[in-house]
Chains A and B, each alone.
Chain A
Amino acid sequence: MLRHDLYLAWRYLSFHKTRTTILIACLSLMGTLPLGLHSLLDAGERQMTARAEATPLLVGAKGSSVDLTLTALYFGEAASPAITMAEADRVGASGWADPLPIYSRFRVKGQPLVGVRLDYFDYRKLAPKHGELPALLGDCVLGHDAAENLGLKPGDTLPTTPENLFDLAGVYPLKLHVTGVLAQSHTPDDQAVFVDLQTGWVIEGLGHGHTEQKPAARPQALPFGMAESTLQADARLVTYTEITPENIDSFHFHGDPAGYPISAVIALPHDRRAATLLKGRYLADDLKTQIVEPPKVTRSLLHNIFRIGALFDGVFALVGAVNLLALGLVFSLSLRLRRRELETIYLLGCSRATVFKLVLAELVLLGLAAAILCRLLLLAVDHYGETWIRQFLLS
C-alpha cells in the first residue's frame, strides 16, 4: 500500500512541477544555508589556522596586523603598506631568525604576483609538478590553480600589465617566462604566480634593461618608437619588455637594494628564546614596522568571523521559521483547494487515515527531495569551499 501512496504522491508532485520545485528549493535552502555557512567557516578556519600555525612570526609595516597577515600569508588584494628590504636584512642580522621576504603588491590577470626567494618554496614545501622553479630574472612559476585559471604551462609566457591607465610610473610591462607549475597544495600558494624578488622589483620599475640607441637611426629602425619586444622609454633608450639570454646582462637596478620594497618578512626563529628576543626588538613605539604572530591574529580574526557566523545562525533560524510557516500555509491552502479531490478519495472507500497517509507521502517525498538537494549542495560547498574561501574571503 505504501508503494501506491508514494506513487500517487509522486504523480501529484510531478504534475505540479513549479509548485513542487519551489517547495523543494525552499526546504533545501533552509538546511543548506546554515549548514553550508558552517561548512565554509570550518573550511576557512582549517585553512587559515594551518597557514598561520606554519608562520610563527611576521614583520611588516605598522598598522593593521590583520591586513599584514592577509597580505603576507593569503596574498590578499588589500595590500598592507610596503617596508624595505632592509627589514629582512635586519631580521637575518639579528641571528635569531631566518628571514623570508615576500613582495605581493601586484596581480597579473587576477592572480597574485608574489616575489619570493627560492627558500620560500622549501619553507612552504612547494615543489614543481611540471617544469622547474624560476632560476633567472623574468622567470615565473605558477601555483596549481593559477595555471588552470590562466591556461598556461611551462614554456608559455605571461605578460604583466600596468595596474591602471594613470599608473604611468607603476607597473613595468614585462613578459614573464613560465618555467613550471607547482603541485597542488590546497593553500593560497595555489593561486599565486611566483617570481624572484628581483623580478618583482623589475616589474615595480626599479630595475630595467635597455640599450642605448642613436637618435638619428631611431625613425628607420623603430617606427612609432615600438618594436615587437621592446618599448621606447625616452628619446634615447629602448627598454626591454622581455628578459632574454641576449639582453639579461643589460638588466640592472638603481639605488641601494636595502631600500627596495617588500610587503613583509616571514621570520623563522631558531627557538622560543630567539622568538621572544626578536619580538622584543619591535616593542619600541617609534618604529615604522611591527612584528605579529599570525596564529594569534588569525584566531582573533576567526573569533570575529564566528561571531558573525553566530549572528547569521540567528538570522537563518528566524528566516527558516518564517519559511516553514509560509510553507505550512501554502500546504494547508493547497489542501483546501484539494478538498473536493480528497473528499472523492474518501467516497471511493479510502479511510481518513489513508487520506492522511497520501498527504504524508507527499510531504515525505518533498522532504526527501529537499534533503537530497541539500546534501548535493553541501557536497559542492565541501568540495569547492576551500577554493571559495581562498578566492573570495582571503583575496
Chain B
Amino acid sequence: MIHIERLQFRYPGASFALDIPEFHVATGERLAIVGPSGAGKTTLLKIIAGILPVREGRVTVDGDALDPLNDAARRNFRITRIGFVFQELELLDYLDVLDNILHTYRINPVLRLDRGVRERAAALAEEVGLGGKLDRSPKELSQGERQRVAVCRALLPEPALILADEATGNLDPANKVRILDLLFRAVERRSTSLVAVTHDHELLPRFDRVVDFLQFHR
C-alpha cells in the first residue's frame, strides 16, 4: 500500500529533518507509529496524504507516486484516496452532524454529493451510534461522539488508506476502544490500510505492527 524510499524532508528554516531510508505498509495492515513529540510522525502522515510535497525521495501510495504530483494533483489524490482523522479534529459547529460528515463532499468539486452518499453517511452515523443525532450541532455532543463524527467524515469517501493522527488522544478509555474498533472495522470491511499515530501504549498490542519513529529523526 505504502512504499517510501530515501525520503528526506525539512521545513524551511527549521533544524528538524525527517530522514526515512525505507518504510512500507502492506494492504490491509494496521500500523501504529509511536515516538516522542516533534519526531516527525504528523509530518510523515501529511506527506503520505499529499498535504506536504515530497522534495527528496520516493513515496508511492496505492500504486501512485506522489513525488511528481503538483499541488492540485496531490489534493485530488488526498480527496479520493485518503481518509484523514486529524489530531485536532475540527468539526464545524454551524453544521449539524450529517452535514459535518458530508462536508468533504461539499467543498471538493471532484466528489459528487448525491442521494447514495447521503444514505451512506446516515448509515455510517447509525453504525457508530449517532443515528439519532444527525441534526445535532457538534457543540451538543460529547468528545467521544465528536471524534466518531470525525471518523465518519474520514471514512465516507471510502478511502484506500486511513491515516489517524492521535485520533484517541483526548478520549476516555471506553471511547478509545470504541474509536479504534471503528477504524479496525473499516479496514477489515473495505480492505484498506490504517496508519495511526498514537501515544496510547495500552492500545498498541491491537495493531499488526508498531514502528518507533525515533529512528527516523535526525
Contact = CB atoms under 8 A, between A and B. Distances in A.
A344 B90 contact: yes
Is chain A's interface secondary structure helix, strand, loop, or mixed overall? helix
Interface in B26-74: 51, 71-72
Contact of B99 (A11, A351, A354, A358): A11
Interface string A1-16: 1001001100110111
A345 to B, nearest CB: 6
Contacts of A343: 90
Contacts of B104: 348-349
Contacts of B76: 349
Nearest to A345: B107
A22 interface: no
A4 B75 CA distance: 19
Interface residues of B, number: 25
A348 B84 CA distance: 8
Given A11-B99, A12-B94, A341-B92, A348 B107 contact: yes
Given A8-B106, A344-B86, A349 B99 contact: no
A340 interface: yes
Contacts of A344: 86, 90
Interface in B94-120: 94-95, 99, 103-109, 113
Contact of A4 (B51, B88, B106): B106
A336 B113 CA distance: 29
Given A347-B86, A349-B78, A354 B92 contact: no
B93 interface: yes
A360 interface: no
B183 interface: no
A365 to B, nearest CB: 13
B86 A349 contact: no
A221 interface: no
A349 B78 CA distance: 6
A347 B95 contact: no
A350 B107 contact: yes
Nearest to A7: B106
Contacts of A349: 75-76, 78-79, 104, 107-108
Given A1-B109, A340-B88, A348 B103 contact: yes
A347 to B, nearest CB: 6
A347 B84 contact: yes
B69 to A, nearest CB: 13
Contacts of B92: 12, 341
A165 to B, nearest CB: 62
Contacts of B86: 344, 347
B95 A351 contact: no
Contacts of A14: 94
Given A344-B86, A351-B75, A15 B106 contact: no
Interface in A1-57: 1, 4, 7-8, 11-12, 14-16
16 contacts: A4-B113, A12-B94, A14-B94, A340-B88, A341-B90, A345-B107, A347-B84, A348-B79, A348-B103, A348-B107, A348-B153, A349-B78, A349-B79, A354-B107, A354-B109, A358-B107
Given A15-B94, A341-B90, A351-B72, 10 more contacts: A8-B106, A12-B92, A341-B92, A345-B103, A347-B86, A348-B79, A348-B153, A349-B76, A354-B108, A354-B109
Interface of A: 1, 4, 7-8, 11-12, 14-16, 340-341, 343-345, 347-351, 354, 358
Interface of B: 51, 71-72, 75-76, 78-79, 84, 86, 88, 90, 92-95, 99, 103-109, 113, 153
